[in-house]
Structure 1
Amino acid sequence: MSERVGTGHDEDLLASVYAWIVAERRLVDGGVAAMAEQFGCGERECQEAVDALLARHILIAGPEGVVAASPDVAIAALVGPRENAHREAELELMAERGRTAQLRTRLAALAPVYSDQLREGGVAGIDTIADMHAVRALIADLTATCESEVMACRPGGGRPPAALADALPRDLALLRRGVVLRSLYQHTARFHLPTQAYAEAVLAEGAQIRTVAEIPGLMIVVDRRMAFLPHAEHESGAVIVREPSVVAYLCAAFEQSWNLGSPFQTGPSAAHTAVAEIESAILMLLANGLEDDVIAKRIGLSLRACRGHIADLMEGFGARSRFQAGVIAAKSGLLEPSAQR
């Protein structure tokens, strides 16, 4: 007979006590102590379990000790209530799903009315949401119900650890439903350890991630029918675009950047490649006459790190100025499109 491990579940203890008495044929004086020692729990707890089983008539007290009733009696008394509770919970879950579906249908029916209002005083197919919590709730709902694909642009370096922790279970659930998840990051994200860990987890489930030197801005497109863009006036808000032509244009822009991207990889060789790609992008922006702070923002680097790369490039070229470094790079063919890959 297998021993019961732990004493946290009363019903489990009752079943274990019953099984012990069946195996020992009867419970006699001193049996509770032996039982408690075998289970690793207190004698009082075992005695209370024996008393509970006697009260349910699963155990029967006789002149030669306590014996067990038939397993059918034990099943009816110990398993039956659990099965009934499970059935009730399943029925309640089904009812709750029905209520949720009805609520979704009722709210979705308001979409034409809302669109009519937008046509009267706004732009059809474009909504603005200023509240951060509302944006997150809408993104979570749409990604949970999307059918085929999610495309995302994530500018800057690595994402905040809290955002990654929130996104990981949602994205894994998407991938396990067969949804295609494609994400674009900047090269600098390859050096961010939390983003590396997130990437390794979702890549293992079939996600696709590429990195590029520059990304115009944050964007999420769901099923090629709805796009989320940053709100210009509310940092934590969003603009939701449903107008088909605009969404198609955003998808085409994503595909163009995607085709220029490099697969997200980790490790020493991947880091070396990323550094080369970052410095090629910096050279291009230097040649265009941009200042350090603008370059840093566009590449997704801190200003200090950006200036460190610029200093290394100038030293490597033997240049005395930023402009001279750009000229040398141009003469060396390093600013040609083929050199940027």
Structure 2
Amino acid sequence: MSMTALFTGRSPSGGEHVTDVYHYAARKGAIEAVEVAAADLGIDVHLVSEAVRHLMESRLLRADDGAGGRFVPVDPDLAVASLVSSVEREIYRRRELIDQIRERVGVFGARTGGDPPPSTVEYLVGAMEVRGFLKTAGDACRDELLVLQGGVGEAGDLSQMFLVLVARGVTVRVICQHRSRADVATRLAMKRLTDAGVEVYTVSHVPRSAIVFDRSLVVLFGDGEGGEGGDVSLARVRNQGIAQFFLDMFNHLWETATPLEGVEFGYATVADDLQQSIAALMAKGYTDEVVARKLGMSVRSCRRHIATLMRDLDATSRFQAGVEAARKFLKTG
């Protein structure tokens, strides 16, 4: 079935047998030979061949490499994902082309006193929209990818994109929160990235998840315009001034961050930085719950750090501990 027929619902010649042939393949585990399938189904060989061709185009059948004439059924969800992925890439390739044309033509409008160029911010809402854009942006990235990974799940799982880019020779640097050191699953996932060549550092707090592609395209994750009901959303920003701001902020955080190295878990290597951040928040009068939320850790872990801090400083109250710790770190810094 062609792409047009797939989306419009039109079935070409032999299309009425497509479902029967697919169910036959799923039931048997494979179509060993078209002639055998035709005999088993009582359908003309030509019509079965047409149905197989349509199923191949729809990614519902795949040729079994090394076994001529043998076709294996593909799970419908996987087939849909495969087809949608190519459509998403084409949509965003064309969107990028449209934006480039607008930017180039907009320069002439600005010089002649015409309308200003269109907004450099675009909001995308919905998993398919976001996923498609990120695939296209990743495919277009050539030199460097800078990542700020804030709250858990804000930016989704982008590890596969990181691995693909590193394999292509793109520099990938990631800053995430110290909490990544304590979670076993996250730590193992991060180790996989570092083993592949991704540079991963951690800090106490990342205010918001963001990505900068090739020092020019900024992507902000979070609630965008029109986002409702927990929809995945992002803001795409094409503005060199904004991009430079994020580059400066990233480089500042990078200089103060701690490399994620080895396979050890926990906060041992970042204890001083973490205690300094906790002390600063305590001095402002924040509750344990608020401190924990701001630093992206569990309340139980946060309270354990606070108890250690108060014991080391011989403080009798949270506020006193915060103030004394702030003074201590100010002197040693």
User: TM-score, length-normalised on structure 1?
Assistant: 0.61
Does residue 138 (structure 1) correspond to residue 133 (structure 2)? The answer is: yes
Distance in 2, Cα, partners of 1:218 & 1:290:
23
For residue 196 of structure 2, give the secondary structure of its aligned residue in structure 1.
coil
Matched, 1:191 2:182: yes
Q: Is the 2:89–2:133 Cα contact (8 Å) retained in structure 1?
A: no
* Deviation, structure 1 residue 101: 9.9
The CA distance in 2 between the partners of 1:321 and 1:104, in whole Å, is 55
1:305 counterpart residue number? 301
State how far apart, in whole Å, the 1-side matches of 2:265 and 2:96 are: 50
Q: Is it true that 1:202 corresponds to 2:193 in the alignment?
A: yes
- For residues 10-29 of structure 1, what are the structure 2 equivalents within 5 Å? none
Deviation digits for residues 61-80 of structure 1 (CA, Å, limit 9, x no counterpart): xxxxxxxxxxxxxxxxxxx9
Distance 1:337 1:195, change over 3 A: farther
- Which residue type is aligned with residue 99 of structure 2? A
Aligned to 2:239: 243
Distance in 2, matches of 1:301 and 1:101, equals: 36
* Secondary structure class of the residue paired with 1:194: helix
Gapped regions of structure 2 (runs ≥ 5): 1-29, 34-65, 69-86, 107-113
| Identity over aligned pairs, percent | 26
What is the Cα deviation at residue 285 of structure 1? 1.7
User: Does the CA contact (< 8 Å) of 1:284 and 1:335 recur in 2?
Assistant: no
Q: Give the C-alpha shift of residue 313 in structure 1.
A: 1.9
Query: Number of paired residues?
Result: 245
CA distance in 2, matches of 1:329, 1:105: 52
| Deviation of the 1:283 alpha carbon | 1.1
Work out the CA distance in 2 between the residues paired with 1:317 and 1:245.
44
What is residue 267 of structure 2 aligned with on the other side? 271
* Deviation readout 1:109-140 (Å, 9 max, x if unpaired): 42257667xx9799621111122321122112
Equivalent position to 1:334, from 325, 329, 333: 329
* Greater shift in the superposed pair: 287-296 or 255-264: 287-296
Report the Cα distance in structure 1 between the residues aligned to 2:90 and 2:156, rounded to whole angstroms.
31
Is the Cα contact below 8 Å between 2:184 and 2:265 reproduced in 1?
Answer: no
Shift of 1:202: 1.5
Q: 1:259/1:337 Cα in 2 relative to 1: closer, same or farther (>3 Å)?
A: farther
Correspondence list, 1:68-79, <5 A: none
Change (3 A) 1:105 1:168: closer
Change (3 A) 1:9 1:244: same
Q: Distance in 2 between matches of 1:205 and 1:268?
A: 18
Deviation at 1:314, TM superposition (A): 1.9
Question: 2: CA distance between counterparts of 1:293 and 1:102?
Answer: 45
User: Where in structure 2 are the equivalents of 1:1-341 lying within 5 Å?
Assistant: 107-111=95-99, 124-156=119-151, 163-164=156-157, 167-229=158-220, 230-232=222-224, 234=227, 235=230, 236-268=232-264, 271-331=267-327, 333-336=328-331, 338=333
Find the structure with the greater CA-based Rg: 1
CA distance in 2, matches of 1:140, 1:106: 13
Tell me the secondary structure at the aligned position of residue 147 of structure 2.
strand
Instruction: Give the superposition deviation at 1:107.
Output: 4.8
User: Which amino acid in structure 2 is aligned with residue 256 of structure 1?
Assistant: H
